[in-house]
Amino acid sequence: MNRPIAVVTGAGSGIGRAIARELSRRGHHVVVSDLDLASAEQTARELDSAEAHRLDVTEPEQSLDLARGVRDTHGRLDAWISNAGISKMQRFVDTSPSDLRRTFAVNTEGVFYCGQAAARVMMELGRGGVIVNTASMAAKQGRVPFLADYVASKFAVMGLTQAMAFELAPHGIRVNAVCPGFVATPMQERELAWEAELRGVSPEEVQRLWVNDTPLGRLQTPEDVASAVAFLVSADAAFITGESLSVNGGAYMD
Ligand code: NAP
């Protein structure tokens, strides 16, 4: 196969689905993966050249099996997008040990294990590669209500991105992150309802607060994030590594 191969995790929904579409549009064969195989298959059906796989990013051997399977089938692995993530809004003092563990298992350990799997196979193949991690605006500032565990898990992703970029650079592997703001996805629908309940206001009022907090004056689309990811994957970003790129309409500037 001549097309470059890109794996996207959490690609059955929201931002991951948009990333899969954008990389496909730019000529990649996309390995669409998700915890939920049916949603991955739905994404893959829309694309020119794609395949769907079930992948739970909290299971290190599953990531490695997928990366090795891609290598065995296609003989190459050009890009890996670690996008899967979860959130649950609640007060810091109410967050249980199991919720904290689950958030870190998916958002931080998942990115760690997927990055290891991708890097091992890219190093074996010896052709370099690109890894992009989906972090968050909440990876750069903790001034975020009701998401203390999520903030901690995403700050870790930003540090991990830099550490990976540093160690993998000699192998020609670039590692970057994107930091989205308020993106209209199923995750956001859940957060609107939680925040409204916790603040005692309507979901519409919460949405208004988020838009008011965004200088560019609208909610973000998954496509806003997908085009930034595609840029980081592309040769236009050939000398960018270790970067955590804000894609948030100015909602947080660092
Ligand atoms: P989403 O619509 O909920 O999509 C997330 C996808 O990840 C879902 O398909 C979900 O599958 C999957 N997933 C969950 N746990 C998984 C696991 N253990 N292994 C593999 N896949 C798993 O959320 P989204 O808004 O697109 O979020 C995508 C990424 O962007 C996340 O990392 C999120 O933290 C980040 N982000 C989102 C926003 C935002 O405002 N939406 C802002 C900043 C950053 P199921 O549906 O089957 O659980």
**C-alpha torsion sign, points 219, 225, 227, 231:** positive
Does residue 67 sit within a domain? yes
Does residue 190 sit within a domain? no
Does residue 203 sit within a domain? no
Measured between alpha carbons, how far is 32 from 159 in angstroms, rounded to an integer?
Answer: 26
Can you give the pLDDT at residue 189?
A: 96
Report how many domains make up the chain. Answer: 1
Can you give the pLDDT at residue 93?
A: 98
Does residue 204 sit within a domain? no
Residue 84 Cβ contacting ligand 1 at under 6 Å: yes
Q: Report the relative pairing of strands 244-247 and 173-180 from DSSP bridges.
A: parallel
The encoded tokens of residue 176 equal 């970057």
Among protein residues, the one with the nearest Cα to ligand 1's atom 31 is 85
Can you give the pLDDT at residue 2?
A: 86
Q: Which of 154, 185, 211, 244 to mutate to test the pocket of ligand 1 (most atoms within 8 A of CB)?
A: 185
Q: What is the CATH number for 104?
A: 3.40.50.720
Can you give the pLDDT at residue 1?
A: 67
Cα within 13 Å of Cα(248), Cβ side: 25
Measured between alpha carbons, how far is 4 from 203 in angstroms, rounded to an integer?
Answer: 42
Cα 12 to ligand 1 centroid, rounded to whole Å: 9
Q: Could you tell me the mean pLDDT of each successive run of 10 residues in the chain, 254 residues long? A: 94 98 98 98 97 98 98 98 98 98 98 99 98 98 96 98 98 98 97 96 96 97 98 98 98 96
Domain of 241, in residue numbers: 5-183+221-247
Write out the DSSP string of 186-231. HHHHHHHHHHHHHHTS-HHHHHHHHHHT-TT-SPBPHHHHHHHHHH
